[in-house]
Structure 1
């Protein structure tokens, strides 16, 4: 199976990534290669749309975990949206992505990011 990656850079701080296919031992390098230069920049939020991802292996989980770790180091977030049931099950089992960072839609994730941005701008730590 192959992996297609669509990346949309909303601005220099917000990134949307859609994955289509299989994120596994054979394809995780594609994701790492596509994200590394973007994550080295000023991106503070990444929405990872998994609606068309039909398989993920431990290598794929590590790739997502690595992106989360890079973003967290500078106060950023990686949010997962639209995971299919089998992908959600993998996330539930390995706990690679906290449940409060998995959303049913991009709109739901955008609303969460908006609230978080407002808190940061107000200096609210709640």
Structure 2
């Protein structure tokens, strides 16, 4: 089985990327290639939905780190949702993303992003 990548249209300054299948040495290059224009945009949050990801190798983890570096370099965040137990174990071991960036669902991540955007707007409105 390969890797299927679905990239949603932007939602504000965030974007959801759903992965299914295997993210490994044979498929990470395709993810990197597909994420390149997304990461080059003015995106502030990238939501990785891993509900249907069955396997991730060290090459796949490097792709996640690469995305984090690009987004966090401009003050944004990579949020991870719907980790399957075997994927969560790998993320826990290698600390692929901070624990406060892992959510149980896309909806939970969306609520978090909405709250963060509201906070930024409130701070901008203060004299």
Answer yes or no: same fold by TM over 0.5: yes
Q: When the two structures are superposed, what TM-score results if normalisation uses the length of structure 1?
A: 0.93
Q: What is aligned with 2:13? A: 13
* Residue 114 of structure 1, CA deviation: 1.1
Q: How many pairs does the alignment contain?
A: 124
CA deviations on 1:46-79 (whole Å, 9 max, x unpaired) are: 1100000000001100101110110001111110
Instruction: Give TM-score, length-normalised by structure 2.
Output: 0.93
Partner deviation per Cα, 1:17-63 (whole Å, 9 max, x = no partner): 00010000110001100001111011111110000000000110010
Unaligned stretches of 5+ residues in structure 1: none
Q: What corresponds to 1:71 in structure 2? A: 71
Deviating above 6 A after TM superposition, structure 1's stretches of 4 or more consecutive aligned residues are: none
What RMSD over aligned residues (CA atoms) do the two structures have, in Å? 1.3
- Provide the rounded CA distance (Å) in 2 between the counterparts of 1:33 and 1:9: 17
Residue 39 of structure 1 corresponds to 39
How much does 1:96 deviate? 1.1
